[in-house]
Chains A and B, each alone.
Chain A
């Protein structure tokens, strides 16, 4: 199925397709809401990840903290941010990583008014 939001650049709409793909990845992230789970994950990341039926790619993206790739694999930002917070990262930190900037560059862009909507509405506007 094609969707009329498919032509928005750099945006992964969390629809049913993404939900199906990312269910276990996101539920792993959700589990970090509990302190006992955070402790278990910290103590033995690999054993903790074994509890979730992740694909090999999802597991690698989690282990390597590839924030953009997690979205490609069905991750939702509110869930993956729990892993980022576990690592002590900020939303600017992972925002920068997903958009190819350093955290400082990203923060400066935000203070200067954020990423402009001009030129960012349609994929066809990109170079």
Chain B
């Protein structure tokens, strides 16, 4: 049986990937952020998951305004780093797990989550930066990856509650997969940030820290947060946090926080990292 053992919530800010790729992590601007990563990397190295389901969003890389799917599962053998307009990141290709991915698709659709299925899915910083944050710079990523892309760019995004319930359905699917695998799930993006308009640069640390707290203390408050509250309180791009609720939904009620780090700023974002183990 497959086991869903843990969830990781992390920012996926592209500048974090660029700082790693260009060897800038020791610079004074970046040092306090990267000081928070070794512990999570040690945890990842000790935990050695076989598969990571990475919940992320595509930033006009694989999908454009032509077709805007709400939830997408990548079922391919391999996913190439995307060219986002300035050449692909020079990171290893992402190896998929088609058997588990197709099992997820079947289980989720029978559970009434109408997933879009993707074979050709170049993956952008939304997926590769979380791998860099938690695995560093290996020659090959140490686990197989199932990309799960969520529309968070086009309003209306799925609700936080819908995302949480999708997480529960993912848990059910993983639990019913008959191969011995240790699986972790990433919820990525956020935390508070606004990239656009006269309010660009907005950060709401209080909102972010309360969000981190309530992933274990009061998940019900988080699933009640609606679109306008995210837009107003966490900035127009802070609504990416709904993806953390998919991760949280996949864990049991009593999931335990084992590590967290929070730092402002990473580029224009409040940067959060949390590791939750299933209880």
What residues of chain A lie closer than 8 Å to B153, measured between beta carbons? 14, 76, 78
Which residue in B60, B192, B200, B270 is a CB contact (below 8 Å) of A99?
B200
Number of interface residues, chain A, beta carbon within 8 A: 51
What residues of chain A lie closer than 8 Å to B158, measured between beta carbons? none
A91/B195 contact (C-beta < 8 A), A82-B84, A111-B29 known:
yes
Spell out A's residues near B (CB within 8 Å): 4-5, 8-16, 19, 23, 26-27, 29-30, 32-35, 38, 68, 71, 76-79, 81-82, 85-86, 91-92, 95-96, 98-100, 106, 109-111, 113-117, 120-122
A92/B268 contact (C-beta < 8 A), A35-B83, A79-B60, A113-B205 known:
yes
A-B pairs with the 3 shortest C-beta distances?
A: A114-B203, A10-B198, A10-B199
User: Does the CB pair A19–B83 fall under 8 Å?
Assistant: no
B58-82 vs A: 1/0 string, CB under 8 Å? 0111001110000000000000001
User: Does the CB pair A115–B155 fall under 8 Å?
Assistant: no
User: Does the CB pair B197–A32 fall under 8 Å?
Assistant: no
User: Does the CB pair A5–B231 fall under 8 Å?
Assistant: yes
Q: For the complex, what is the distance from the CA of A102 to the CA of B192, rounded to whole Å?
A: 22
Count A-B pairs with CB separation below 8 Å: 149
Which single residue of chain B is at the shortest CB-CB distance from A34? B83
Number of interface residues, chain B, beta carbon within 8 A: 45
Spell out B's residues near A (CB within 8 Å): 15, 29, 59-61, 64-66, 82-87, 153-156, 192, 194-207, 227-228, 231-233, 236-237, 264-265, 267-268, 270
Q: For the complex, what is the distance from the CA of A9 to the CA of B196, rounded to whole Å?
A: 11
Which residue in A15, A29, A117 is a CB contact (below 8 Å) of B233?
A117
Which residue in A8, A85, A100, A110 is a CB contact (below 8 Å) of B231?
A8
Query: For chain B, what secondary structure do more than half of its interface residues adopt (helix, strand, loop), or is it mixed?
Result: loop
User: Does the CB pair B202–A117 fall under 8 Å?
Assistant: yes
What residues of chain B lie closer than 8 Å to A81, measured between beta carbons? 85, 195
Q: For the complex, what is the distance from the CA of A98 to the CA of B201, rounded to whole Å?
A: 10
Which single residue of chain A is at the shortest CB-CB distance from B226? A4
Chain A CB within 10 A, most for which of B194, B204, B264: B194
Which single residue of chain B is at the shortest CB-CB distance from A35? B83
Q: For the complex, what is the distance from the CA of A68 to the CA of B206, rounded to whole Å?
A: 28
A114/B155 contact (C-beta < 8 A), A9-B199, A10-B198, A11-B236 known:
no
Which residue in B87, B155, B232 is a CB contact (below 8 Å) of A14?
B155
Chain B CB within 10 A, most for which of A4, A8, A9, A14: A8
Q: For the complex, what is the distance from the CA of A9 to the CA of B85, rounded to whole Å?
A: 30
What residues of chain B lie closer than 8 Å to A9, measured between beta carbons? 198-199
Q: For the complex, what is the distance from the CA of A23 to the CA of B264, rounded to whole Å?
A: 33
User: Does the CB pair A68–B201 fall under 8 Å?
Assistant: no
Which residue in B15, B61, B154, B265 is a CB contact (below 8 Å) of A111?
B265
User: Does the CB pair B60–A110 fall under 8 Å?
Assistant: no
What residues of chain A lie closer than 8 Å to B65, measured between beta carbons? 19, 23, 26-27, 30, 79
What residues of chain A lie closer than 8 Å to B29, measured between beta carbons? 111
What residues of chain B lie closer than 8 Å to A79, measured between beta carbons? 60, 65
Q: For the complex, what is the distance from the CA of A123 to the CA of B169, rounded to whole Å?
A: 40
